[in-house]
Chains A and B, each alone.
Chain A
């Protein structure tokens, strides 16, 4: 756990969580307050900057820094809830596929194959179009798409764990099948799951940003990084910071989740730890 990568990335995520929760206290301005007289003022240090807006203002004169801070709320909510639910559902199906024998395995594996024949971005947009826009829909779309990631890994892990001596021993003693599955096998898969879950959080943040970018996420009066990026893309020639600031926030968050997942996978894996 003393991996500097894990400490830095974990520290950044923790900071982001604190900032997101304390957004109304931390943000210098109201993220929704428009001021057309102060539209597209550049960040501090550039000619024409307004002293009150450290990272500039957008096309409607809203404070970019405050909007990025509030946008973190949506990103992190999606990261934790969507990734958590995908992990729960995928792992459960993966455990069943890996443990309940040929028929269940074949059924679940085929389902995963069909699922993965869809391009994820297309499937998420399709789902949102079906169930409507909004935060719940974004979360549902991510869960519906990404449970397969957990399912595949957990299925393989369960199968290889089920061959091990300790499972055979548990069987011989006469443990029930649920007991073997949840008390013997599951704890041995948890390290893999935690790493996978962290990586999935990074993916969820990007998917939310993409859906906001296309205009299919939460309504436009809630600040989101993807929504800000979409606005910034439109006025990139006049005000590059409107695109750059949320993009850097997104980049840093994704890299942090990724490095954390990588580091955790390394430090939780007894073979790699040596």
Chain B
């Protein structure tokens, strides 16, 4: 049945992406601001403007523009960025890796932090320790990545100036990379000093993205674990004389983790959305930061490419989550 789920989700995904494409295209064409007006020099005459418009295909009828754009997208051509004078695909391909590394690192940190605290809270249930975790977590749940990012700036820029405030890597170290996956590559090739430098740059943006998700994982996983801990199979294991930690990790966790995986997957898409503002705050050179510049500069082709890319990432994550949940749930697997 997994194949049926995949096919169904793929068709839905394509429909959604097509919808996204139409919405973005229409939205950008009703903009009163003219992108060409922003790029010409003050002395340019009407003829220059017309020539520039023709160059970027902005003089054609809307339907023609849409057709040209869609035909390009299908063949992997997203057009040329108006402000950067580079192919949109090139720009995206050089920026996406930074965001992916950041988002995945943040996801890992959130799972480890959140999972660890949820397990600790389960072990401490009905004690003052659990009350403390619950109280703190109820506040953590309200705090978005934007506030975390700036709070971290205050802590690490003023009180404890040990971390670099901006960027992805010290400029003099950003050489000799074969890929744009700086962190993964420096670890794989054993350049640990470089990796440490990258990690110090990534610490604050990672924490800002990870902490809100960690708080959600704590709440849901602890709840599921506590429910699992009073089930008969845990009681049986307890009678066998298993230690408490083993009861939680070996008996309860396996049965309680399903909802948390589904939640983490959905929230991962929000985490990636959050990279937009968090990358901005830390001047981190990913696609999120790029997106804000693209919008401020009214760079139509770049905006269209970025939004479709974000949409595609979201859809892929959703499919991945559905598949993981279906694989883990025996009832769905045999349905």
Contacts and interface: CB of A to CB of B under 8 A. Distances in A.
A250 B30 CA distance: 34
B139 A255 contact: yes
Contact of A129 (B143, B273, B298): B298
Given A117-B314, A130-B30, A254-B142, A122 B307 contact: yes
Contact of B280 (A209, A214, A262): A214
B23 to A, nearest CB: 7
Given A114-B20, A202-B142, A240-B154, A251 B147 contact: yes
Nearest to A229: B150
B92 interface: no
Contacts of B141: 258
Contact of A237 (B32, B158, B310): B158
Interface in B1-27: 12, 15-17, 19-20, 23-24, 27
Given A121-B274, A122-B273, A126-B27, A251 B157 contact: no
A128 B310 CA distance: 18
Nearest to B318: A117
A78 to B, nearest CB: 15
Interface residues of A, number: 40
A214 B15 CA distance: 32
A129 B33 CA distance: 9
A122 B142 contact: no
Contacts of B269: 119
Nearest to B276: A121
B214 interface: no
A247 B150 contact: yes
> Chain B contact residues: over half helix, strand or loop, or mixed?
helix
A122 B276 CA distance: 7
Given A125-B291, A125-B292, A126-B307, A236 B147 contact: no
Contact of B144 (A113, A229, A233, A254): A254
Interface residues of B, number: 50
B20 A119 contact: no
B153 interface: yes
Q: Which residue among B154, B157, B270, B273 has the maximum number of chain A CB atoms within 10 Å of its CB?
A: B154
A114 B142 contact: no
Contact of B143 (A120, A121, A127, A251): A251
Given A114-B23, A126-B303, A236 B153 contact: yes
A123 to B, nearest CB: 8
A31 B144 CA distance: 27
A202 B144 CA distance: 10
Given A129-B298, A202-B142, A255-B143, A243 B276 contact: no
A112 to B, nearest CB: 11
B17 A129 contact: no
Contacts of B27: 126-127, 130
B20 A129 contact: no
A132 to B, nearest CB: 7
A83 to B, nearest CB: 15
A118 B23 CA distance: 10
Nearest to A255: B142
B104 interface: no
Interface in A198-249: 202, 206, 209-210, 213-216, 229, 233, 236-237, 240, 243-244, 247
A161 interface: no
Interface in B120-156: 138-139, 141-144, 146-147, 150-151, 153-154
B273 A119 contact: yes
Interface string B291-334: 11001101000010011001100110000000000000000000
B157 A254 contact: no
B32 A132 contact: yes
A237 B307 CA distance: 35
A128 to B, nearest CB: 8
Contact of B157 (A126, A237, A247): A237
A214 B142 CA distance: 22
Q: Which residue among B24, B32, B276, B296 has the maximum number of chain A CB atoms within 10 Å of its CB?
A: B276
A250 to B, nearest CB: 6
A259 interface: yes
A122 B315 CA distance: 16
Contacts of A216: 296
28 contacts: A114-B16, A114-B20, A117-B16, A117-B315, A118-B20, A119-B310, A122-B276, A125-B276, A126-B27, A127-B27, A128-B295, A129-B31, A129-B296, A130-B31, A206-B146, A210-B277, A215-B296, A233-B150, A233-B281, A236-B158, A240-B158, A247-B151, A251-B147, A254-B143, A254-B144, A255-B142, A257-B142, A259-B138
Interface of B: 12, 15-17, 19-20, 23-24, 27-28, 30-33, 138-139, 141-144, 146-147, 150-151, 153-154, 157-158, 269-270, 272-274, 276-277, 280-281, 288, 291-292, 295-296, 298, 303, 306-307, 310-311, 314-315
Interface of A: 110, 113-114, 117-122, 125-130, 132, 202, 206, 209-210, 213-216, 229, 233, 236-237, 240, 243-244, 247, 250-251, 254-255, 257-259, 262
Given A119-B273, A247-B154, 7 more contacts: A113-B12, A117-B19, A117-B315, A129-B303, A213-B280, A243-B153, A247-B150
3 shortest interchain CB distances as A-B pairs: A119-B273, A258-B142, A114-B19
